Structures are given as C-alpha cells and as structure tokens.
C-alpha cells in the first residue's frame, strides 16, 4: 500500500491575519487528513515539528516513501500584503511523477477553493522539500494567510481541504478514495486458511500477506465488499465476508 511523508509547516512565526499561524493551521490540516488517509489505505509518517525543513528532508530520505507532501500557506511581498489570493502546487520540473501529482492536486483543489482560476501547478527548482527529497514530492501553498478571505477559507475549510488532498493522492495512486467510518476491531474468520491482504480491493489486487484465521485486525474503511484493515505493520484490503466485527 502507498506510504507518504506528511510534512506540515513548522513556521510558527508566520501569523494569520485572522489569528493563529501557519504551523498551527497546517498541522490542523494534517490532523484532519489522518482519518481520510487511514480509511483509504494510505500509510503515513508525520514530520517532527522541531526539526524544521532540513530535518523533514533528512527524515523523509532516511526511509522509503512514495510521496513527500509538504503543506504550507503563502504570504505576499510586503508591498502587496493582503492583496493576493490563490493556491500554488509546486513540483519538480525534472520529475514527471511530481508534475502529475501536482496537476492532480491542483485540478481537484479547484472544486473547493473559491477562485478556481487561481489554482495552479507550478515548477520549482528552489524549494528543498521538492528538489532534495528522494520521494516524489510536491509543495502545497494553500492560499495566502495574510489575505482575510484566504485565511478564513483555510480556517473554515480544513476538513474539505483534507478530503480533497487525500482524494488527489488516491487518484495518483490509483486506489479508491474512502471517507472515514468509525474505527472498529474485527477478527478474521475463515475455514482455517489465511485471509489474503491485498493492495487493491479486487481478487486481482497484489497479495501483500496472508492473515491467519483468528487474528484481530483494525478496520478503517470499506469499499463495496472490501475492508481497509491494518494487521501488525501491514495495511491493505480484505474481503469483508471473512471479518467479524465486534
């Protein structure tokens, strides 16, 4: 299953015009993403807020991740303070995968940002969290926090933005986007054989591992007759017919 490095801003020194700061709201956004990521079967690691951008890059590169997703909000130059609006999704011009992900995010974000024409995917050769990470990376500037309308949009739309970003990741990975349900425990009940844990909700999905009969799993979401579950350190899809909830 996909695994991402989720890197919300550590810039507490960037104030929002309506109160709060960039680090605060981007971490609230990451918090809001977590249930959607779990429900959709996307594993994630959060950055350490005490290690700044260089630490996030080092920690991301210390393990394998399919995507490095940096979450930020923007500010205009002093001469234009409060006057600019828009969402910019930055990608590496040297990575087709990075560009594909940025375009996917930008296209989907148009449905939740009030000014769709101001949502763009842009190349960058200067942002370290895009250019220095081993994983496919994008850097999301989700509105201008010095603009009252954008700052209010971020503050009041955290769940919608979180769902939208997760749906874009699902589109990129080619897996179903699932809305979170109540997290429950379940038990594998078969004829005694193991239950296949798959990378996609289909009998043709790649087999990740086999879960022994009688083992407990955690259920995060459902796609038709498939559950998204975790067992030990594995996450994937299992047929719901062989899981007893309780």
**Cβ atoms of residues 227 and 221 within 8 Å:** yes
Which residues, in sequence order, are CB contacts of 235 under 8 Å at separation 6+?
1, 41, 43, 228, 229
Which residues, in sequence order, are CB contacts of 31 under 8 Å at separation 6+?
none
Long-range pairs for 204-208: beta carbons < 8 A, 24 or more residues apart: 205/236, 205/237, 208/1, 208/234, 208/236
CA 98 – CA 88 distance, rounded (Å): 14
Instruction: State whether residue 230 is helix, strand or coil.
Output: strand
- pTM for this one? 0.92
**Cβ atoms of residues 106 and 139 within 8 Å:** no
Beta-bridged to residue 87, according to DSSP, are 119, 142
What are the pLDDT digits (tens) for 187-236? 999 999 999 999 999 999 999 999 999 999 999 998 889 999 999 989 99
Q: What residue ranges in 92-128 does DSSP mark as E strands? A: 119-123
What are the pLDDT digits (tens) for 35-80? 999 999 999 999 999 999 999 999 999 999 999 999 999 999 999 9
Go through the domains of the chain in sequence order and give each one's CATH number. 3-173 (3.40.630.40), 184-245 (2.30.30.40)
**Cβ atoms of residues 17 and 145 within 8 Å:** yes
Residue 4 has phi, psi (to 5 degrees) of: -120, 155
Q: Give the per-residue pLDDT at 246.
A: 82
Place of tokens 């700052």: 151
Closest to 47 (Cα-Cα) out of 87, 11, 93, 88 = 11
- 113-122, 149-158, 175-184, range with the lowest pLDDT: 175-184
């Amino acid at each position: 299953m996909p695994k991402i490095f989720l890197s919300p801003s550590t810039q507490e020194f960037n104030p929002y015009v309506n109160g709060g700061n960039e680090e605060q709201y981007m971490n609230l956004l990451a918090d809001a993403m977590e249930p959607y990521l779990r429900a959709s079967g996307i594993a994630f690691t959060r950055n350490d807020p005490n290690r700044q951008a260089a630490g996030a890059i080092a920690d991301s590169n210390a393990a394998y991740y399919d995507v490095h997703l940096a979450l930020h909000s923007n500010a205009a130059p002093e001469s234009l303070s409060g006057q600019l609006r828009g969402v910019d999704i930055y990608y590496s011009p040297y990575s087709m995968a990075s560009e594909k992900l940025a375009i996917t995010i930008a296209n989907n974000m148009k449905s939740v940002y009030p000014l769709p024409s101001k949502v763009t995917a842009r190349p960058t050769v200067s942002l370290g969290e895009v250019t220095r990470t081993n994983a496919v990376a994008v850097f999301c500037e989700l509105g201008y926090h010095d603009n009252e309308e954008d700052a209010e949009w971020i503050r009041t739309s955290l769940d919608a933005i979180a769902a939208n970003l997760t749906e874009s990741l699902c589109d990129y990975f080619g897996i179903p986007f699932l809305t979170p349900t109540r997290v429950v425990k379940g038990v594998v009940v078969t004829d005694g054989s193991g239950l296949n844990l798959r990378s996609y909700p289909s009998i043709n999905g790649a087999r990740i591992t086999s879960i022994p009969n009688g083992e407990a799993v955690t259920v995060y979401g459902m796609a038709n007759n498939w559950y998204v579950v975790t067992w030990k350190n594995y996450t994937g899809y299992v047929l719901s017919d062989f899981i007893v909830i309780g």
